[in-house]
Amino acid sequence: MSSFRFLGLCPATHTPLGDDGALRLEVVERQASYLLERKIDRVFIGGTTGESVSLTLAERLALGDRWAAVSRSCGIKVVVHAGAQSLADAAALAAQAQRNEASAVSMIAPSYFKPRSLEDLVACCAQVAAAAPGLPFYYYDIPALTGISFPADDFLRSAAARIPNLAGIKYSNPDLGTYLLARRVEAGKYDLPWGIDEYFLSALAMGAQGGVGSTYNFVPGPLQRMMAAFPRGDLATCQLEQDRMMRVIRIVARRGYMGCAKALMGHLGVPVGPARLPNGNPDAAGIKAMLGELEEIGFFSWKD
C-alpha cells in the first residue's frame, strides 16, 4: 500500500457536464492543468462536489478512467470516491481505482438504508476496502448529508482490525472536539483531511495538515496563505484569509451552491457545465449578480 497522505489542498472536483446533461470528459484535462498551475497536485473525484449520487455507475467508471489517463500524462494524484447506495457498485468503483493506480479510495456509507450500528458501518466499509486492498482507504464522514453519525475515534478503533488498508477519515463533520480525539488515536497514526472549508482555520488549530474541499477549485489562494501563516503564528493573516473564504462561500451559496460554483468555474475558464438535477442552476442574471458581488469584495485579485 502506498504512503499517500492528504497534505495541503486537495480539491473535490466537479464532474464536467454539457448543457444536454452528458459527460464532457475532454474538460478533465483543463481541470487538471488549471489546478497544477496553482500548485495543487491532487484531486478528489466523484464525491459530493462531483455529484456522484446523480451519476450512473457507467458514468462514474468513465470519469475514473478519464482522470486516470490524465494523471498518467501530467502527474496529478487522483483519489477516487467510491461510495454508493449499492455496496456492489462501490466495490466496482474501488476495484477500478486500484486497476487505474489511483492514490487512494474513499467512500460514504449507504444512506437510504443506513447502517444502524458502528459494527454495520465498519462492515460496509470493509467490503468496499477489500475490493482495493492495495490502496489507502478513507471513510468519508459527512453526517449533514448522510444522516450517519458515529464518533470518528470509535470508528477508527473499531475498523482497524477489519480494514487492513485503513488510512483515515475524510472528515466533513463540524465536531471539532471529536476530530481532535480521532487525530490522537494510536498516537496520530491516521490521516484526517479536513472537509468543511468554513472551519478550516479551526481545523488547523486542531492539527489538520490538509483538506479536501470544493472551494479549492476556484479560490485556493486564501487557504494556501493560511496554511503558510499558521505555523508562523500569524493569526491575523489566518483570520483575514478565513474571512475572505467565508464571504466567497456566502456569495456563491446565495443562489444555489452547486450550480453557482460550476458557473464560476466556467467564468474562470474551466467549462464544467451546469449542475444536474436535483441541484439547480442560476440564470444569466443570477450569474451576473454573483460575479458582481465577487468583484465588489476583490475576489478576482486575491483568489489565487
- Told to judge if 39 belongs to the known catalytic residues of this protein, a careful annotator would answer no
List 34, 114, 138, 170, catalytic entry:
170
Angle (nearest 5°) at CA 96 between 95 and 99: 90
List 140, 171, 179, 216, catalytic entry:
140
Please give the C-alpha separations between residue 255 and each of 250, 281, 282, in angstroms, as whole numbers: 9, 8, 7
Please report which helix (H) or strand (E) contains residue 139, including its range: strand 137-141
- Told to judge if 179 belongs to the known catalytic residues of this protein, a careful annotator would answer no
Q: How far apart are CA 279 and CA 255, in angstroms?
A: 11
Q: Please answer whether residues 260 and 286 qualify as being in contact, where contact means their C-beta atoms are separated by less than 8 angstroms.
A: yes
User: Which residues belong to the active site?
Assistant: 140, 170
